[in-house]
Structure 1
Amino acid sequence: MDAPRRYTPTRPRDTAISQGSSFTPLAQQVRELGLLRRRYGYYWTRLVAAPAAVALCLLVFSWIGDSWWQLFTGAVLAVLFTQIAFLGHDAAHRQIFISGRWNDWISLILGDLLVGMSYGWWQHKHTRHHANPNKLGSDPDIELPVIAVTTESVASQRNRSFAWLQAHQGLLFFPILLLEGISLHASSVRRVCSRGRLQRRWVEIAFLVVRLVGYPVLVFFVLSPGIAATFLAVQLGVFGFYMGIAFAPNHKGMPVVPRGLVLDFLSRQVRMSRNIRGGRFLDVLMGGLNYQVEHHLFPSMPRPHLRRAAPIVQQYCETNRVPYTQVGLFTSYAIVVSYINRVGLGERDVFTCPLVQSRAAIGTETLHRGSGGAAGE
């Protein structure tokens, strides 16, 4: 990945940059091809299979009993919980049903009851992310507690332990992901116990109590303390690691947008997102998140249609000179690790947005060409 060039702001806060091409023709083309139509058969199959698979795993867990073989059961449950989280993500984006109420309840059941993640917490956080991906002060996904993805985070860090972690975060990135499961559960509990507005708070509390209290009680009831603790460590570690490696390639290492910069919808979503190249197995493995560009442009598009939409979106972006980033899975991880390593070491300009650079260089608000750097291959 080419090193970004330095950005020197030349315009005041709330600068607007016009893309010069419209999102409307693309949206119309996608709609006419039927790519926004619901896929009820696809989703009902998975909605029935998800709780059935959890029930089967718990029956196998009870049948095996107090044995170290249960560590494999824990790993299987971790993968299953992650796949269910992907399904909950689809429901939260209104991909499954037309009815918002139905989607909400499916998200509550899948997220809170089966996975142990608060739907209200995720919805609040994820909505802000989709509105302004990779924008300073707006996207909560670049304001992480341990991993720093912007130089602002490094500069403002006063805790010596966290500062040391950030300085070595490139090396520690994958091991830290083993703790992501605990972080997701803890954030969910904090959210439902906070004083902020939260719809269906008591439903979420009830579901989370069943999942986060009842599940460990079952584990310690069936297993001896040592095996039970190891089982939970494996399940939480694999779950967090899987969630982390599925979401990390989407935006990390892509341009970070300065505060006050206003971009049109197409540029805002395409330039800050990265697709992962691969076959149908990767589609299943990553829950459709490998089509991040298409997902950000059409959040309510059913997951199985993303593959069909990708070449259409790519061609449209190329025609309109909007950089469309697509790399292999392992290449994406190399980019992410290299990026956060440079951020942690204090390199000042790793987050420069090439779009802003090009405008600063030519001194005009109309973009005719996208520049290279982190946004394109």
Structure 2
Amino acid sequence: MTAPAAATRSARERHTSVYAALSQQVRDAGLLRRRYAYYWTLIVATLVAFAGVWVGVVLLGDSWWQLGLAAVLAVVSTQLGFLGHDTAHRQVFASHRWNAWTSRVLSGLFAGLSYGWWTGKHNKHHNAPNQEGKDPDIAPGTLAFTPAIAAERTGLAAWLTARQGWAFFPLLTLEGLALHVASVQTLLQQKTIPHRRTELTFIAIRLSTYVAVLFVILPPGKAAAFVGVQLAVFGVLLGGSFAPNHKGMPLVPASMKVDFLRRQVLMSRNIRGGPVTDYMMGGLNYQIEHHLFPSMPRPNLKLAQPMVREHCRTHGVAYTETSLVRSYGIVVRYLNRVGLAERDPFTCPLVQRYRA
């Protein structure tokens, strides 16, 4: 074996052992064990809240106060989406089958989202967060998340992209609708997704029944306003929970190799807060811990945080945490800088060293 190859292998083994030590510490602390009581309580409470909203809609009748219930329904739907996320990551049950079907039911029948679409997309993101050409969350779309994508745009598209950061929050109001559309489109187009027809049936029942009930109970204008408010708040809550976690963190070139711990920690950002933040963000505010241990139950993420932070400090790995408001400011500035086609925004020393 040549000296460079031996050095590369030695570095890889050293980096692997760094994560293995942390993983063993977390496992020894029992933080990967299932939290059945927590999740059963949360699932039942959320479904009761979902039913309660619809009872309220029926009892309230023809009133503009229905828009308040629309906002509450958006909060509940977001929580159902988070529960679908947790079960898709196998955080809830020991059985893969139980997790998968619970996610299909909660996501499809109650939130109107596809488990098959979400799992495929989200797994790619976890495997390569913020890596160009691999992470679908930074792929070309309405917003340009990388300078290379922004540089390709011309004319009106380039003008809009240069100011895209200011459009971030208005666009989030459309994210709920976009998620429903992406779920249905993917299920219709990708016929290899397991239980595709079942998922389509779940989503069709959820969306059609939802609209039908509203238009039976409310005049067309109020029914349309209810749908608009619910979708807008749903999009802001769900999209606003995911965006602060990686946007504005280092971008990874498609060909670059980074060890697992650094790949997950350096490209992720935690959001400080208390119980309200934990609930409203579905535990995703502990994004670093979630990426390092995707199957860890949500309530254990905050318990693992001190171990992970100290481990990163010991091994010289930058651990990023900030407030929710500050994170949104970072996202807006980042998007505007990318829109101006600036090269390498928010690039960390590790990425600079690898690129050099």
Deviation at 1:196, TM superposition (A): 4.0
- What are the equivalent positions in structure 2 for 1:325-344 lying under 5 Å apart? 325-344=320-339
- Provide the residue aligned with 2:210 in structure 1: 215
- Provide the residue aligned with 1:233 in structure 2: 228
Report if aligned partners of 1:276, 1:328 keep a CA contact under 8 Å in 2: yes
- What are the equivalent positions in structure 2 for 1:39-78 lying under 5 Å apart? 39-78=35-74
Deviation at 1:354, TM superposition (A): 2.7
- Provide the residue aligned with 1:197 in structure 2: 192
Q: Of 232, 245, 260, which aligns to 2:240?
A: 245
Matched, 1:86 2:82: yes
In structure 2, the CA distance between the partners of 1:231 and 1:280, relative to structure 1 (3 Å rule), is same
Deviation at 1:353, TM superposition (A): 4.6
How much identity, in percent, do the aligned residues show? 54
Whole-angstrom distance in 2 between the partners of 1:143 and 1:19: 31
- What are the equivalent positions in structure 2 for 1:282-301 lying under 5 Å apart? 282-301=277-296
- Higher relative CO (CA 8 A, sep ≥ 6), structure 1 or 2? 1
Deviations 1:301-337, CA, capped at 9 Å, x for gaps: 0000001100100000110111111111111111111
- Provide the residue aligned with 1:375 in structure 2: none
Matched, 1:133 2:112: no
Whole-angstrom distance in 2 between the partners of 1:91 and 1:271: 26
After TM superposition, the structure 1 stretch with the greater mean CA deviation from structure 2, 200-209 or 164-173, is 164-173
Aligned residue pair count: 346
- What are the equivalent positions in structure 2 for 1:244-323 lying under 5 Å apart? 244-323=239-318
Q: Of 163, 172, 179, which aligns to 1:177?
A: 172
Report if aligned partners of 1:257, 1:353 keep a CA contact under 8 Å in 2: no
In structure 2, the CA distance between the partners of 1:161 and 1:104, relative to structure 1 (3 Å rule), is farther
- Provide the residue aligned with 2:4 in structure 1: none
Report if aligned partners of 2:176, 2:235 keep a CA contact under 8 Å in 1: yes
In structure 2, the CA distance between the partners of 1:307 and 1:116, relative to structure 1 (3 Å rule), is same
**SS of residue matched to 2:322:** strand
Deviation at 1:351, TM superposition (A): 5.4
Report if aligned partners of 1:65, 1:223 keep a CA contact under 8 Å in 2: yes
Whole-angstrom distance in 2 between the partners of 1:190 and 1:27: 38
Deviation at 1:161, TM superposition (A): 4.7
Whole-angstrom distance in 1 between the partners of 2:160 and 2:288: 31
* Unaligned ranges ≥5, structure 1: 1-14, 362-377
TM-score by length of 2: 0.94
State the one-letter code of the partner of 1:289.
Answer: L
Which structure shows the higher helix fraction? 2
Report if aligned partners of 1:148, 1:343 keep a CA contact under 8 Å in 2: yes
Report if aligned partners of 2:251, 2:344 keep a CA contact under 8 Å in 1: no
Report if aligned partners of 2:272, 2:285 keep a CA contact under 8 Å in 1: yes
Deviation at 1:346, TM superposition (A): 1.8
**SS of residue matched to 2:344:** coil
State the one-letter code of the partner of 1:290.
Answer: N
Whole-angstrom distance in 1 between the partners of 2:231 and 2:46: 19
**SS of residue matched to 2:129:** coil
In structure 2, the CA distance between the partners of 1:153 and 1:359, relative to structure 1 (3 Å rule), is closer
State the one-letter code of the partner of 1:182.
Answer: L
**SS of residue matched to 2:141:** coil
State the one-letter code of the partner of 2:113.
Answer: M
Matched, 1:103 2:103: no
Whole-angstrom distance in 1 between the partners of 2:337 and 2:343: 9
- Provide the residue aligned with 1:372 in structure 2: none
* CA-atom RMSD in angstroms: 1.6
Report if aligned partners of 1:148, 1:154 keep a CA contact under 8 Å in 2: yes
State the one-letter code of the partner of 1:132.
Answer: A
In structure 2, the CA distance between the partners of 1:151 and 1:290, relative to structure 1 (3 Å rule), is same
**SS of residue matched to 2:333:** helix
- What are the equivalent positions in structure 2 for 1:137-152 lying under 5 Å apart? 137-152=133-148
Report if aligned partners of 2:250, 2:267 keep a CA contact under 8 Å in 1: yes
TM-score by length of 1: 0.89
- Provide the residue aligned with 1:26 in structure 2: 22
In structure 2, the CA distance between the partners of 1:231 and 1:178, relative to structure 1 (3 Å rule), is same
State the one-letter code of the partner of 2:299.
Answer: P
Deviation at 1:155, TM superposition (A): 2.0
After TM superposition, the structure 1 stretch with the greater mean CA deviation from structure 2, 16-25 or 188-197, is 16-25
Deviation at 1:237, TM superposition (A): 0.4
Report if aligned partners of 2:113, 2:203 keep a CA contact under 8 Å in 1: yes
Whole-angstrom distance in 1 between the partners of 2:329 and 2:273: 16
Whole-angstrom distance in 1 between the partners of 2:242 and 2:207: 23
